Structure 1
């Protein structure tokens, strides 16, 4: 948050990208058309990868730091990657990729898919054949957290996530409800037939507002959602052993 606003292509975002790359296992950059870059980490394995993702850019709005919309998901990916990198890899486990997308925020909201989700479109176009499934963490840190199943999210994956949430005591965050479909970084993968889920509490009053700062987020919310995703990822990883 000390870096401040981080719109795609900005010097501030490039500074953050270097920070993130250094903290992901086998961290690297992957170029995105328009001079942007995804930040990618990986734990190697056999077969198709399970991808955990978020976006790390912010909307180009004055004083907008995106504590929930961008930073929350990015923080969760970093911490889950740290834990999994220290965990003994199960025999025959699939690769785990940690992908932080650049350019999620649209430059023209009327054409969101055309001018937004730029990093995820580039990554899906390049890697779809080697991806088994994708988890996207987006709005997961707001204080009044409730994450229903986003309607386009894969139902079986979501059921498994809710089971993971129950195991770690975070079931209250994932009600047995659905919300309307949203276009997000999981959409390019869904369009290529890759099962995907989007964790997004879209009932967030500070969406694209300067009030999306540290006063809008909660360590407890981030911990609950993050613990559920970590349990889900570890369960998927170990199920191949």
Structure 2
């Protein structure tokens, strides 16, 4: 009797220890993503050449490495200006998926309603930091044993177009030109943290990928954040891939009143919106 009782107690103790010490189930956490938004803004302006830009590149590499990704900086010079993309890779398998976001912030707030403010740099909470935040939280939460090769691409020099003759989407254009092989899918996240989130299907995006992601969002209860009616036709980081006949989709809420203004600050970003986008992509990748 005592031996049997001891065995029951030991079994219960071992079970408790297992439950107490087992790893937490992986899932996308919008609150963690929001903290990444705040961290980026603490670096200050992330315009190419600014101290905050260099610090952010170092932070991205170290954060991705700590999450178990093979991270590197892809460097080039375009129009006489340095460009530094950050690229992280992990896994292998039957699918090759690239998730991308730009991390630079615009040098001038040229859409600010106050003309006296337009020479100042944009804080870039939604336009820049929100997409990066989603990718970093996916880096933490995606299972390492997926039957897929996943790349996370953080593009430089996306948002400097028409400033001193610069082009738009410079970092993604260079990145896509250096690809060896053809990815199965490229998903760009840009301006997806708006508290009033409405990501309409973007008209230049691959229709099959669009359908897949919007259906996944609806299954998870995010249909209101992903309305079905197409709206904008964007020049964004998906375009270099589309031009090379690589399936690509742009997740963007361009109806954002603080675009390229000094009011693009952290209080305009919602962890619920980050959750809706990140959770949708997490399940789109892992449920297939």
Q: Same fold per TM (> 0.5)?
A: yes
On the 8 A contact 1:143/1:218 being kept in 2, the answer is yes
Query: Aligned residue pairs: how many?
Result: 230
Asked if 1:40 is matched to 2:87, the reply is: yes
- Residue of structure 1 equivalent to 2:54: 14
* Alpha-carbon distance in 2 for matches of 1:100, 1:63: 20
Asked if 1:117 is matched to 2:164, the reply is: no
Asked if 1:97 is matched to 2:154, the reply is: no
Correspondences of 1:1-241 after superposition (within 5 Å): 1-24=41-64, 25-33=69-77, 34-46=81-93, 49-61=96-108, 62-84=120-142, 87-90=143-146, 93-108=147-162, 115-127=167-179, 129-235=181-287, 239=288
Deviations 1:91-129 (A, max 9, x none): xx2310000000001241697xx6121110111000062
On the 8 A contact 2:105/2:121 being kept in 1, the answer is no
Task: Tell me the TM-score normalised to structure 2 length.
Answer: 0.76
SS at match of 2:63: coil
Larger radius of gyration: 2
SS at match of 1:134: strand
Between 100-109 and 20-29, report the one with greater CA deviation. 100-109
On the 8 A contact 2:106/2:121 being kept in 1, the answer is no
On the 8 A contact 1:66/1:212 being kept in 2, the answer is yes
Task: Tell me the TM-score normalised to structure 1 length.
Answer: 0.90
On the 8 A contact 1:32/1:118 being kept in 2, the answer is no
On the 8 A contact 2:89/2:151 being kept in 1, the answer is yes
Deviation (angstroms), 1:234: 1.8
Deviations 1:189-235 (A, max 9, x none): 00000010001101110010000001211111111111112111223
Deviation (angstroms), 1:176: 0.9
Any gaps of 5 or more consecutive residues in structure 2?
1-40, 109-119
On the 8 A contact 1:32/1:119 being kept in 2, the answer is no
SS at match of 1:129: coil
* Alpha-carbon distance in 2 for matches of 1:199, 1:7: 23
